[in-house]
Amino acid sequence: MMKNQKRCGRAAVAALALLAGGAGAGAQTLPEPQNVVSFSASASIEVTHDLLTVTLSTTKEGADAANVQNALKQAVDAALAEAKKAAQPGQMEVRTGNFSLYPRYSQQGKIASWQGSAELVLEGRDMPRIAQTAGRLTTLTVAGVSQSLSREARQRHEGEATTRAIAAYRAKAQDYAKQFGFASHVLREVNISSNEGGDHYRPMMARAKAAMAEDASPMPVEAGKGLVTVTVSGSVVLK
């Protein structure tokens, strides 16, 4: 009986040792591939921006928070009602922007007054319509103007830039293989990223307010240029 128990114990120990050895072998990492080259290639396309965003704002200050808030609301409501008359889906969208109201403290640490600001945003493809509408919103002043690409235009230009960037990456890979004395290469890993450079500027508030109050003429707007850049990065194995 004792001999049988010893034999069973030895068999169990041997089985555990075998399993442990197998697990250790499976956990071993594979050797890193040789002759790996990492690099990137980019392609850029100059584009004309087709989307205009104009941010208009107003700032109010007073001793009573409720009065300041009401003054901001009246200014935005008046501008919103006027802007909606010219709104058109895709051509000029109208939406409210940031709204803030905060206290201003005296040297004694007490609330001396309240100051707040509110924004209205005009955005779309019809740049003349947006410029003319912004000129008519006399209760707000232009706080910021930016140009960019619409989603459809961005996708179209990114597709073209991606094709060029991939072709440039493949050409580089073949050239590196040739220079290092190899006949070919195999793609190991690859990443594709894109970005768009836009025109952004913020006119002086006082200057914009004076120009709009003078004759409510549309602000001058001209479509700017930008770059859509696609970068392909990764590594290849030379063979």
**DSSP per-residue codes, 89-121:** TTTBEEEEEEEEEEEEE-TTSSEEEEEEEEEEE
Give the SS3 label for residue 153. Answer: helix
Other beta carbons within 10 Å of 228: 23
Q: Name the residue among 72, 73, 46, 70 with its Cα closest to residue 59.
A: 72
Q: Where are the alpha helices (DSSP H) in 108-192?
A: 127-136, 151-179
Residue 231 lies in a domain: no
The three-point CA angle 194-200-202 to 5° equals: 160
Q: Has residue 4 been placed in a domain?
A: no
User: How many C-alpha atoms does 92 have within 13 Å on its Cβ side?
Assistant: 22
Residues 2-16: tens digit of each pLDDT:
445 545 455 554 544
CATH number of the domain that residue 140 is part of: 3.30.70
Q: Give residue 33's pLDDT.
A: 80
Question: Can you give the pLDDT at residue 208?
Answer: 43
Q: Which amino acid is at 172?
A: K
Specify the amino acid at residue 189: E
pLDDT of residue 32: 75
Residue 61 lies in a domain: yes
Q: What is the pTM of this model?
A: 0.69
Residue ranges in the chain modelled with pLDDT below 50: 2-3, 6, 8, 13, 15-16, 24, 199-214
Q: What is the pLDDT of residue 200?
A: 42
Q: 99 in a domain, yes or no?
A: yes
Instruction: Of 237, 238, 232, give the one whose Cα is nearest residue 40.
Output: 232
Tally of domains in the chain: 1
- pLDDT of the residue at 217: 58
Which residues form the domain of 58?
Answer: 51-149+199-222
The answer to the question of residue 228 being in a domain is no
- What's the pLDDT at 195? 87
Query: Which pLDDT score, from 0 to 100, does residue 221 have?
Result: 73
Inside any domain, residue 82: yes
Specify the pLDDT at position 181: 95
